[in-house]
């Protein structure tokens, strides 16, 4: 066994000076039979296991020199790598690989679950992730920055049921009426998938306002849903009056028709989910939208997030928690920054990371289904924060169930629908 180690976490836990901690760790290791040698670019061929304790949570620059050589050597070796606290080279806060990182078979992390382990590139290099909060006193544990809460469908259902059971005497009027707006020419699928998901998550009534030529698309896919072809704000008004919750964006496009629909949505005071092109339009120069007086969930993918922040996808991905927080604060809305380890941020600074989901979800329409799920949960009375956290986890957990059944490749957004129904119940 080879141990490549630093002792910072040991030191922190025992309140020792750095040199005291190094001496103590070395003495204990030698007493346990560890033979220390100087690393010279090669690792012994006959090692059965590599314990990676090289770089820790303090890493904030690109890995270079001997450290990079050691990471390379560990990754070349045939023995599995077990990372202590965090795979060396991974940024603990952001999940970015800092030039190079160890590809661990498993990682045991201590005291606090670092956000970088569960978002962006973190899950790809961590392998199986284990967490031990260690027997720290409450004071010491509280001193560990929590930063973001890890959420999964499983953890949420342990915590509280997703939705209250329905009373026997409840009817569709008690379960909300969601109006979904979008579906430009050629993009009718996006709005019809969002509507289908909204129905399946349990909204009492679901309506769509779309291009007249897409009405039949929506109705054919989901006859339980109502659809109206609209060409003007006047035609949208009566639909708004009947709705309790709105969602706007799937397949909306960026024509003057799209702007007209979005304008009606912005002027309303109903709770709303904004996705896709609705986000692109509010991100465009001159748009002065913010939602301090209103319940709003924004669901950008990193491309849309970059437009909302007037930055780049690389910037967004370099610190997903910061990007989600910045959007939430700017727009006074709850934000789901999508992608692996979706980050949910509230305007009050709350942060959560969804640990469910899989790469099969990287196919067109997956975000449209999420929009419908969140709208359907808002319609049934969840707050924007609850609808965002629970909706993101429900959506990802449904995708994991679908992938468990038939694999990751070829997973389609509509494959999630039966699982969404199972999970919400």
Ligand X SMILES: NC(=O)C1=CN([C@@H]2O[C@H](COP(=O)(O)OP(=O)(O)OC[C@H]3O[C@@H](n4cnc5c(N)ncnc54)[C@H](OP(=O)(O)O)[C@@H]3O)[C@@H](O)[C@H]2O)[C@@H](O)CC1
Ligand Y SMILES: Nc1ncnc2c1ncn2[C@@H]1O[C@H](COP(=O)(O)OP(=O)(O)O)[C@@H](O)[C@H]1O
Residue 361, interface with ligand X (CB under 6 A)? no
CB of 412 to ligand Y, least distance (A): 11
Contact (CB, 8 A) for 50 and 2:
yes
368 has binding-site annotation:
yes
Contacts of 411 (CB under 8 A, 6+ apart): 358, 360, 361, 363, 399, 402, 403
Residue 221, interface with K ion (CB under 5 A)? no
Footprint on residues 21-60 left by ligand Y (CB under 6 A): none
DSSP 111: S
Q: 111-144 as b/e, with b when 16 or more CB fall inside 10 Å?
A: bbbbbbbbbbbbbebbbebeeeeeebeeeeeeee
**Rounded Cα gap, residues 420 and 413, in angstroms:** 11
Exactly one of 111, 209, 217, 276 binds ligand X (CB under 6 A); that residue is 276
Contact (CB, 8 A) for 229 and 210:
yes
SS3 content of the chain, % helix, strand, coil (to 5): 45, 15, 40
Residue 361, interface with ligand Y (CB under 6 A)? yes
349 has binding-site annotation:
no
Joined together, the tokens standing for residue 26 give 């070395």
Exactly one of 89, 112, 127, 250 binds ligand X (CB under 6 A); that residue is 250
**Rounded Cα gap, residues 28 and 26, in angstroms:** 5
Residue 239's closest CA among 207, 271, 212?
A: 207
Exactly one of 95, 115, 202, 251 binds ligand X (CB under 6 A); that residue is 251
Strand boundaries in 199-333, DSSP class E? 205-210, 226-229, 245-248, 272-274, 296-298
Contact string (CB under 5 A) for K ion, positions 311-350, x = contact:
---------------------x------------------
**# residues near ligand X by CB under 6 A:** 18
CB of 184 to ligand X, least distance (A): 7
Contact (CB, 8 A) for 57 and 86:
yes
**Binding range to ligand X, per CB under 6 A, among 226-234, 237-245, 291-299, 301-309:** 301-309
Residue 395, interface with ligand X (CB under 6 A)? no
Residue 307, interface with ligand Y (CB under 6 A)? no
Chain-centre distance of CA 420, in angstroms?
17
CB of 388 to ligand Y, least distance (A): 11
Gyration radius (Cα) of the chain, Å: 24
**Rounded Cα gap, residues 62 and 69, in angstroms:** 13
CB of 355 to ligand X, least distance (A): 16
* Binding partner of 332, given ligand Y, ligand X, K ion, none, CB within 5-8 angstroms per partner class: K ion
Residue 228, interface with ligand X (CB under 6 A)? no
Residue 377, interface with ligand X (CB under 6 A)? no
Exactly one of 365, 372, 384, 391 binds ligand Y (CB under 6 A); that residue is 365
177 has binding-site annotation:
no
342 has binding-site annotation:
yes
301 has binding-site annotation:
yes
Residue 309, interface with ligand X (CB under 6 A)? no
- 238 three-class SS: helix
What is the pairing mode between strands 106-110 and 128-132? parallel
CB of 370 to ligand Y, least distance (A): 5
Exactly one of 50, 86, 126, 252 binds ligand X (CB under 6 A); that residue is 252
Residue entry with tokens 């997903």: 320
**Rounded Cα gap, residues 384 and 21, in angstroms:** 47
Q: For the chain, first and last CA: distance in Å?
A: 48
Exactly one of 149, 358, 383, 414 binds ligand Y (CB under 6 A); that residue is 358
**Rounded Cα gap, residues 353 and 129, in angstroms:** 15
**Binding range to ligand Y, per CB under 6 A, among 132-140, 154-162, 199-207, 355-363:** 355-363
**Binding range to ligand Y, per CB under 6 A, among 64-72, 105-113, 313-321, 334-342:** 334-342
Residue 390, interface with ligand Y (CB under 6 A)? no
Q: Which is nearer to ligand X, 190 or 296 (CB)?
A: 190
Contact string (CB under 5 A) for K ion, positions 287-316, x = contact:
----x-------------------------
Show binding-site residues for AMP. 338-342, 367
Contact footprint for ligand X (CB under 6 A):
187, 189-190, 250-252, 276-277, 301-304, 313, 339, 364-365, 367-368
Show binding-site residues. 190, 251, 301, 338-342, 367-368
């Amino acid at each position: 066994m080879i141990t490549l180690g630093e002792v910072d976490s040991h030191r922190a836990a025992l309140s020792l000076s750095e040199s005291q901690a190094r001496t103590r760790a070395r003495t204990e290791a030698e007493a346990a039979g560890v033979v220390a040698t100087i690393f010279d670019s090669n690792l012994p061929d006959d090692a059965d296991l590599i314990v990676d304790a090289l770089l820790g949570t303090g890493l904030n620059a690109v890995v270079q020199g001997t450290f990079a050589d050691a990471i390379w050597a560990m990754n070349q070796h045939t023995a599995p790598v077990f990372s202590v606290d965090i795979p060396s080279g991974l940024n603990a806060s952001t999940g970015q690989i800092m030039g190079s990182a160890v590809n661990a078979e498993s990682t045991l992390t201590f005291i606090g679950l670092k956000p970088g382990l569960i978002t962006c590139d973190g899950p790809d290099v961590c392998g199986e992730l284990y967490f031990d909060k260690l027997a720290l006193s409450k004071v010491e544990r509280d001193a560990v920055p929590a930063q973001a809460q890890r959420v999964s469908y499983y953890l949420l259902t342990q915590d509280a049921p997703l939705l209250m059971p329905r009373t026997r005497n409840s009817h569709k009027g008690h379960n909300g009426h969601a109006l979904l707006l979008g579906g430009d020419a050629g993009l009718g699928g996006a709005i019809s998938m969002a509507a289908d998901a909204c129905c399946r998550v349990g909204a009492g009534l679901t309506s769509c306002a779309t291009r007249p030529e897409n009405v039949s698309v929506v109705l054919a896919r989901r006859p339980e849903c109502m659809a109206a072809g609209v060409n003007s704000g006047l035609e949208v008004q009566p639909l708004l009056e009947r709705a309790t919750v709105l969602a706007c964006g799937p397949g909306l496009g960026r024509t003057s028709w799209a702007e007209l629909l979005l304008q009606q949505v912005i002027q309303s005071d109903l709770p709303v989910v904004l996705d896709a092109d609705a986000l692109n339009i509010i991100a465009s120069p001159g748009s002065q939208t913010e939602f301090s007086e209103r319940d709003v969930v924004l669901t950008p993918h990193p491309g849309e997030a970059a437009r909302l922040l007037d930055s780049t996808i690389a910037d967004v991905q370099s610190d997903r928690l910061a990007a989600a927080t910045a959007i939430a604060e700017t727009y006074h809305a709850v934000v789901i920054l999508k992608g692996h380890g979706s980050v949910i941020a509230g305007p009050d600074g709350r942060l959560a990371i969804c640990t469910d989901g899989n790469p099969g979800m990287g196919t067109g329409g997956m975000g449209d289904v999420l929009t419908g799920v969140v709208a359907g949960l808002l319609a049934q009375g969840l707050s924007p924060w609850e609808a965002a956290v629970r909706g993101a986890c429900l959506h990802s957990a449904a995708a994991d169930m679908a992938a468990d059944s038939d694999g990751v490749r070829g997973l389609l957004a509509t494959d999630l629908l039966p699982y969404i129904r199972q999970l919400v119940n």
